[in-house]
Structure 1
């Protein structure tokens, strides 16, 4: 069952074998992977390659196999839902007892695999030598864990509170996740009255007899959610469930998401907004509702939700399971066929649709079409009645590069989304935005980064509520500046606050002057090719800048980059420039 501590045990094994300790166990390599319900094997192969220090080749799994077959290694696989063919899907050599005629292959190497699963059948299918059932904690173990996360000083100082604390602990039924989360929620409760109130909120769970253990657990874990000190913290936590299960959410992306949704709104510049975002993450981490981690290669921070916590968050969003269609969230590999069979009425209450890294192809076209008709990539929307009257957020990110998506495909559904406020089409191969975007009169945020769009329609200026416009692209060495028609339209948006053109795109000087006159900007990032543009940006809250082909400028000072050079600037890129001197004179604290 979820929350019993399987992942923690695997993490302990992994951490204990890092560095020299791995050699003490005669393992040359220790590899930790989270598999999840719908595995992304190419992504997992990439993680293995990075861990082994291999350069990504054309056939990753073959090179992984050749590299590991004569090495001693331990593979740790977390959260397996169905049997995994290790050589075929990941390029991992089988443990020798499963190999054929291993004695004919020369020296025998240590190939060991440890995995966690909720499904007993998976152990048999994976031909496990030994099965260990992770049980809930006994009473004394549970009390010890609970006290680690609650306030031991308060509990020990009051006999009544100690008795109530024991009862609260018993409600957790020995489940480590519940003990940790609820214990942390109780850490600031100082009176018997507060403990009695909390005890009334908790449902007594009998792990052996309750049929719907999960929902009972959600009721108990919700105590920690309810205990958060502000609505902002609660909303920010729920937003984490808008990513697929087991997803490692980059901290930068998460904070940017909160800003876009208006959960972080009272800030003078984008740097202040990110500072508040980091503070929110720290507070949520203290409650044990989310976990912090670091990517192996880059060292960048990410957050992750335990799958039970994520399910609980979605349960809260759905009004405790009463409105299950309120959010539709899918990741790569998720089965979307169930949605394609829905009737139009199923979508009336949907407020968010999020497909991140999903190969949705024809299924998504059916979802977004009015009559479930798909012909040659075009969508028919004949009905005049909006199919998604309450949809506020549409996130279609990381669309498969192998699937063509026409401009008309997305645009045809815009009239069916009159309440849409947030639109993310980043990373999908859409070639443009049609003039039909003007119907999205409530739109406050749009992200078309890393798309194939090369022109913006003049109708964009009709989006009077638009505050955030993101149109960044990755810089590719040798690539010229991306010239986009219609960028001047952006300077006509009356409420625009954040403009991100970082990468290969820039505004003209006249458009920058218009933005300066409005004096509403809180963050701007873009490519800079001239001293004139650089001087204008000094009067705007610059956020990220890439200086490109500025051969005639030989000295750069941080005070040249932002109107408040001691704050705000988070990233500086320099390509094809002739700088001889870079002066960091007391500024750039966030760079």
Structure 2
């Protein structure tokens, strides 16, 4: 019995001693426990970072993170949170009397907690298999449910390629992907649809934060590519140096965690570093951006390989017979199904298109079931018998189909409008206004009395051409684009009789080759139109061109140190002359002549986006000039000689920010002027009263004197008192106007940049300042009543918009109303007071915007 008691007592003592020792150890090993915890946390942090990087990579590919991994990361987060709280308490104790008087109770508690957390850290292990495989691949979304772009058909052959591309984009190891296929097979349409699909993917399916696209084309323009990418990222590149622009773009792209850059229509190797794309890997960390992927299209598989594509090159083939027939039926319309007589010949026509979407669509748009079986049979024979041009990179069937679509256009005027579009560079946003002015200068369009008539007709023709898919929409206002293949066909057609156009693009590498397929007209004396792009005349045209029948000459981004007449000779019939993006200041300073041929024949002179000097010696003898444009050019003074242009119908100085002088008497002499564009330009108007001499500036009374013929006016006025003359524009027929009053440059650049986006603007009025002062002036009241787009910017003395601006009939024409930075306005209108007047205040208002109110 005594032995049993002794044994029990011994056990109790041993356990008690162990328990006491464990508790004492928290005090004795306090510093050691804290350091051990730090070591354990360091190892856990390294592990967590490795797992987190793998998780982020999986998310970039749209994969779904496994639940066990997410739980582990959450447990790790909680442990680090507890450890942080513990560390704060430890640091607090050390600060107590500089650690000279530690609390034994606190040390015990902290040491014990450190020990417990360290034990949990050791237990917190992630299975090795999970560490290497943290996610489940996200199921591919069915393309049939998300393809929605108008004009894109979700054919199975296309879906398969698109699924392959999307899968490759999800693969973390894939950096660059290529899509290859012949011209016209639908590569551009496909990448545009892929772009839209990626933008619509959200949540766990989201692949990229930013998706940008740029068209490279055969003649590479690094600056243009940089601008397109920058604008897609809401970035403005103002530098001229491509290398500096590349550096800025490089840094901006690296700010995007996941970005896809689509490079369309790549013909040869593009040095990504020259553009500023931080792609792939490099010797320094700064050159690496793992979140950046490239998707490119090319007609040449070798180009994709040179650019770095390895296994991820996907070919786009022609449509099979069933898909081609379906696309043709969709293009022609349902009425084809109701006309069994056409079924057989229609299928034969589709066979001639060889499964190429661009050919199927252009032919389908050219044929109507209502035209009858005989016309369809004729079209079939034309396709079969067409003599295809030898244009490198183009299938003969494509040429035949586009040529047929051209031949089926309704009139020679529409055809001429179409061919004018090929004068511009590949993938260029062609301003429709150029077609208006070139056509007007060549008297292309019949039964038109005014420039406005020509403009309306041209826009109608452009609509027809877009519906035929011969022209494409542009993202820029009042511009169109040409598919590069359609442009090649247009150049080929235009190079022959009776047109005889010559279009040449001289790329940066020289040689004058430009894009394949642009044929040089050897019989130059029969040319009616010449367009030279990026040409150095002294180097590229040394012998001179004999051009006795030339009617239109366009030089874009071109240069010459010698007289232009040395390069272009015997121009007796020149009607249209355009210098675009040309630095002419030094040339004009030496009083060298322009290429005017016989001055009496010249009807259109465009010196746009140019650096100009004194042009008085150029203007004087142009007695029959009808169109004169300096839009966006650097010019400080309009010469008095402009007043001698008695047949002038249009004068354009839009965005000539440096234009400071228009001598008095110049504008008043333009008695036939129909359109005057001075938006974002000259505003140094002189008062109407007072003596006038050679140093006086033009006054608004001169503009008023033109009102019998003036149809369009875009003007900037710095002081509303300049409109005091109650007859300002009131004796004319209603005009189309764009007027800004008291809008300074600083305000305009901040808020009204491109407020005149094109030449089809609706009546627009912008006011800043004292509204009471405005309402005292009849011309302002007239503008208010006729406005379709009204902007009130930093106005004051206005509380009740309707009642004070127009208390009678309301704004019967107003479609867009914008009120910004006005804290005095209390009501837009008083509904109770207005109702009895019997008509709505805003019968056709589409939108109203109110911004930056302080109250």
Deviation sequence 1:174-208 (CA, Å, 0-9, x none): 2210101101111344421121122222236899x
Change (3 A) 1:100 1:328: closer
1:440-519 aligned within 5 A: 440-474=622-656, 482-486=659-663, 488-505=665-682, 507-516=698-707, 519=708
Q: Of residues 313, 316, 319 in structure 1, which corresponds to 2:490?
A: 313
C-alpha separation between the residues in 1 aligned to 2:726 and 2:589? Answer: 34
C-alpha separation between the residues in 2 aligned to 1:149 and 1:332? Answer: 37
Q: Is the 8 A contact 1:45 1:61 kept in 2?
A: yes
C-alpha separation between the residues in 2 aligned to 1:369 and 1:554? Answer: 63
C-alpha separation between the residues in 2 aligned to 1:508 and 1:212? Answer: 58
Change (3 A) 1:280 1:31: same
Q: Is the 8 A contact 1:379 1:409 kept in 2?
A: no
Q: Of residues 246, 249, 266 in structure 2, which corresponds to 1:80?
A: 266
Choose 547-556 or 359-368, whichever is displaced more.
359-368
**Partner of 1:244 in structure 2?**
425
CA deviation after TM superposition for structure 1 residue 579, in Å: 7.2
C-alpha separation between the residues in 2 aligned to 1:269 and 1:142? Answer: 45
Q: Is the 8 A contact 2:670 2:706 kept in 1?
A: no
**Partner of 1:328 in structure 2?**
503
Secondary structure of the residue aligned to 2:628 is: strand
Change (3 A) 1:334 1:492: farther
Count of matched residue pairs: 562
1:82-231 aligned within 5 A: 82-86=268-272, 88-95=273-280, 99-100=281-282, 109-129=290-310, 130-154=312-336, 156-203=337-384, 217-231=398-412
Q: Is the 8 A contact 2:726 2:778 kept in 1?
A: no
CA deviation after TM superposition for structure 1 residue 29, in Å: 1.8
C-alpha separation between the residues in 2 aligned to 1:82 and 1:124? Answer: 11
CA deviation after TM superposition for structure 1 residue 406, in Å: 2.5
Q: Is the 8 A contact 2:572 2:597 kept in 1?
A: no
Change (3 A) 1:261 1:425: same
C-alpha separation between the residues in 1 aligned to 2:475 and 2:400? Answer: 31
Secondary structure of the residue aligned to 1:395 is: strand
**Partner of 1:429 in structure 2?**
611
Q: Of residues 524, 528, 533 in structure 2, which corresponds to 1:351?
A: 528
CA deviation after TM superposition for structure 1 residue 455, in Å: 3.3
C-alpha separation between the residues in 2 aligned to 1:223 and 1:375? Answer: 38
Secondary structure of the residue aligned to 2:705 is: helix
C-alpha separation between the residues in 1 aligned to 2:226 and 2:268? Answer: 18
For the pair 1:396 / 2:590, whether they are aligned, the reply is: no
C-alpha separation between the residues in 2 aligned to 1:134 and 1:573? Answer: 50
What TM-score do the two structures reach when normalised by structure 2? 0.57
C-alpha separation between the residues in 2 aligned to 1:387 and 1:499? Answer: 33
**Partner of 2:723 in structure 1?**
531
Change (3 A) 1:215 1:512: same
Secondary structure of the residue aligned to 2:384 is: coil
CA deviation after TM superposition for structure 1 residue 147, in Å: 1.2
Q: Is the 8 A contact 1:538 1:562 kept in 2?
A: no
C-alpha separation between the residues in 2 aligned to 1:380 and 1:186? Answer: 46
Choose 239-248 or 529-538, whichever is displaced more.
529-538
Choose 575-584 or 309-318, whichever is displaced more.
575-584
Choose 541-550 or 269-278, whichever is displaced more.
269-278
C-alpha separation between the residues in 2 aligned to 1:147 and 1:113? Answer: 35
CA deviation after TM superposition for structure 1 residue 79, in Å: 0.7
Choose 576-585 or 13-22, whichever is displaced more.
576-585
C-alpha separation between the residues in 2 aligned to 1:564 and 1:316? Answer: 47
Secondary structure of the residue aligned to 2:634 is: coil
CA deviation after TM superposition for structure 1 residue 523, in Å: 1.6
1:23-42 aligned within 5 A: 24-42=205-223
Q: Is the 8 A contact 2:465 2:471 kept in 1?
A: yes
Q: Is the 8 A contact 2:559 2:583 kept in 1?
A: no
Deviation sequence 1:467-503 (CA, Å, 0-9, x none): 222122255xxx8xx4324463333234322221222
1:383-422 aligned within 5 A: 386-399=569-582, 404-408=586-590, 411-415=593-597, 419-422=601-604
Q: Is the 8 A contact 1:467 1:496 kept in 2?
A: yes
CA deviation after TM superposition for structure 1 residue 586, in Å: 1.9
C-alpha separation between the residues in 1 aligned to 2:489 and 2:207? Answer: 41
Q: Is the 8 A contact 2:354 2:397 kept in 1?
A: no
Choose 445-454 or 5-14, whichever is displaced more.
445-454
Q: Is the 8 A contact 1:399 1:428 kept in 2?
A: yes
Secondary structure of the residue aligned to 1:439 is: coil
Secondary structure of the residue aligned to 1:11 is: helix
CA deviation after TM superposition for structure 1 residue 428, in Å: 0.8
Q: Is the 8 A contact 2:320 2:355 kept in 1?
A: yes
C-alpha separation between the residues in 2 aligned to 1:302 and 1:444? Answer: 23
**Partner of 2:234 in structure 1?**
53
Secondary structure of the residue aligned to 1:112 is: strand
Secondary structure of the residue aligned to 2:265 is: strand
C-alpha separation between the residues in 2 aligned to 1:534 and 1:128? Answer: 70
C-alpha separation between the residues in 1 aligned to 2:234 and 2:251? Answer: 14
Deviation sequence 1:127-180 (CA, Å, 0-9, x none): 2123223222222221111111113433x3343311110111112122210101
The structure with more radius of gyration: 2
CA deviation after TM superposition for structure 1 residue 427, in Å: 1.4
Deviation sequence 1:18-77 (CA, Å, 0-9, x none): 144497253222111111122222232232223223454753322332343472222111
C-alpha separation between the residues in 2 aligned to 1:485 and 1:265? Answer: 34
C-alpha separation between the residues in 1 aligned to 2:392 and 2:566? Answer: 45
C-alpha separation between the residues in 2 aligned to 1:484 and 1:199? Answer: 62
Task: Provide structure 2 residue ranges, at least 5 long, that are not aligned to the other structure.
Answer: 1-181, 515-519, 547-557, 686-697, 744-767, 818-855
CA deviation after TM superposition for structure 1 residue 364, in Å: 8.3
Deviation sequence 1:396-432 (CA, Å, 0-9, x none): 112359x844255663432466643222111111112
Q: Is the 8 A contact 2:704 2:729 kept in 1?
A: no
C-alpha separation between the residues in 2 aligned to 1:499 and 1:109? Answer: 53
Structure with greater helix share of residues = 2
Q: Is the 8 A contact 2:491 2:503 kept in 1?
A: no
Deviation sequence 1:305-362 (CA, Å, 0-9, x none): 1111112222222226x875x24364885958579xxx99965333334457x47585
**Partner of 1:545 in structure 2?**
739
Q: How large is the RMSD of aligned CA atoms in angstroms?
A: 4.4
C-alpha separation between the residues in 1 aligned to 2:271 and 2:773? Answer: 57
C-alpha separation between the residues in 2 aligned to 1:418 and 1:17? Answer: 57
**Partner of 2:710 in structure 1?**
521
C-alpha separation between the residues in 2 aligned to 1:533 and 1:37? Answer: 57
C-alpha separation between the residues in 2 aligned to 1:438 and 1:352? Answer: 25
Q: Is the 8 A contact 1:354 1:394 kept in 2?
A: no
Task: Provide structure 1 residue ranges, at least 5 long, that are not aligned to the other structure.
Answer: none
Change (3 A) 1:274 1:410: same
CA deviation after TM superposition for structure 1 residue 218, in Å: 3.0
